[in-house]
Chains A and B, each alone.
Chain A
């Protein structure tokens, strides 16, 4: 086997791990990283996106449209949850943990009771391609591109739009923003909805590749929290490099020693990063800059 095959296979595995980490973490990065709400129901927003996507595809819509509907429904659920629960708990961060954990239990068990223990999959589109001895799924490349696209869109949203400026202002000094005439409650709702929608998008994108069960959110949650914790508060400067570092660790360890060591490597990397850079990667980058 020649060098090019090896290089491509390593890149593919890196891209695959990167996409999974970044897509699972983006929604959480907005809700937890920016807003400081520890959202233990993050996995259930992902599950919601996946279920709605699969349901709309079963109803006859094409997959991209299904993913869009899944994203929007999750965002809508996010608005409702923010209005009903999260809004009252912004100054009680420990209580949000209990509340969102409760929501996650209700969502998992509610889905089990109402939709049943499993849902039929929708099948992965696009087929495969061959490089050297290995064949690869084209859809995994799509996922990688989607991860890059989401990062770029988030960067643009929070840096170049009016909503982004208002959101950052509201989250940094809420009273000052309110004094300047910003409707901070609305901004909080929209930001939370944005995070929930991103979770739904991750669910929709991964729905064709996974088994659809009420507990599927749990398989994303570890990776999501790990990425956000070592990424730190800034969505773009944190999540992207954190995803990159962890993807290297995970893909190298998994190809060397198997899945178990991939997971061990991930957790060891987190312990080291949190010890060396308590404010995460973005905290480190921003301190260097000022």
Chain B
């Protein structure tokens, strides 16, 4: 093999574009025209890959559909994907690359909150435009970002009171030890207190930890009525198997499990028995829209192990972007934000109707309460329709007036004017 071929292969291996690049070209009929470029920065390898490969596929599916139907304002949508390898520094590197070298019009990026906070300053610095299509701990008030994932007031304000009413008021939180887990745990603490409950305990687990014997014992010692599991990444998912084999037998509540990492499919029943999750989409949702989306997804990617909520968020985000560009007649962020400010950017997504909130640039969602049965089948004991991402707006974030480019939490709210 010649040296230049080797070098090319190495570069391709580094960026992960070798296989994907060839399959991602735009529709041939439109390829000649000036395309709209969409950067895709998602983890296609590493600790988070199981939950995020589906996001890339969902974006490909939406882009193919849009290109087949004539593109956006007659221009084809071209994807510029990079594998961020579950590594925060890769996000920074590739975010600079897509904004400066590839000059994309918009970027869809990020799974973990750590990676989002790693790339967000770069988007702000280069005046880019990014979609974060992932549920998270909430609070990002940044005009350069649109968040299509669900936030705590949508996932926890529904889930925690339901669990407390059904199982009792002693709550134990087991969370991943980084910004997502810490801030989500703060939300759980706040909601438990507001509902007259008490925290039986809290433990934060470093990412990558896979052995939970001691944590299991700590939980048994605290005797909670249920456990809130905010465990992230595939290593931490080992908790369920280990807790089940030690017969912990407590109901669990989560905003991230099942809906992202499809643990109910990966582990042998009944290790996830009595897990309750609030999610805005999972493939088991039994509505015509959901079934249609699932069928399209499986037709294009037959070996996809699971269509999770972030796949749906990513899919609908492409269509939202199309709608906004067509209404603004421009791909410029400022023009698009004028359309958002009208407050009627909505669409019929696979989950149901969703709208962008102009104040926070977050999304309203239909929230499904998914319960995992002893045989790992999913049932939906409750559905909340049109839950708005109200917290940021109420706390004082209004992107139509002011863009602070900051993240807020309940203990660190926006400054009062």
Contact = CB atoms under 8 A, between A and B. Distances in A.
A121 B246 contact: no
Nearest to B44: A112
Contacts of A290: none
Nearest to A135: B247
Contacts of A208: 241
A127 interface: yes
Given A128-B245, A139-B245, A121 B218 contact: no
B3 interface: no
B166 interface: no
B30 interface: no
B324 to A, nearest CB: 32
Given A137-B242, A259-B215, A216 B247 contact: no
B220 A135 contact: yes
Given A120-B265, A123-B267, A260-B204, A135 B214 contact: no
Interface in B172-217: 177, 203-206, 208-211, 213-215, 217
A2 interface: no
Contact of A260 (B49, B206, B263): B206
B241 A120 contact: no
Interface in B203-238: 203-206, 208-211, 213-215, 217-218, 220-221, 234-235, 237-238
B206 to A, nearest CB: 5
Nearest to A124: B245
A123 B45 contact: no
A215 B234 contact: yes
Most buried by A among B53, B242, B245, B249: B245
A121 B267 CA distance: 5
B69 to A, nearest CB: 30
Contacts of B221: 133-134
B45 A112 contact: yes
B1 interface: no
B244 interface: yes
Interface stretch (A8-16, A74-82, A229-237): A8-16
B338 interface: no
A172 interface: no
Interface in B263-288: 263, 265-268, 271
Contacts of B46: 215
Nearest to B13: A109
Contact of A211 (B247, B266, B303): B266
Given A109-B45, A137-B246, A258 B234 contact: no
B45 A108 contact: yes
Nearest to A129: B247
A213 interface: yes
B343 interface: no
Contacts of A213: 47, 49-50, 234-235
Nearest to A256: B214
A106 to B, nearest CB: 10
9 contacts: A20-B211, A112-B49, A124-B244, A135-B220, A135-B247, A208-B241, A215-B47, A219-B209, A259-B209
Given A210-B210, A259-B205, 20 more contacts: A13-B213, A16-B214, A108-B45, A118-B266, A118-B305, A119-B266, A123-B271, A135-B220, A137-B247, A140-B213, A208-B241, A209-B238, A211-B238, A212-B266, A213-B50, A216-B234, A218-B235, A258-B205, A260-B205, A263-B206
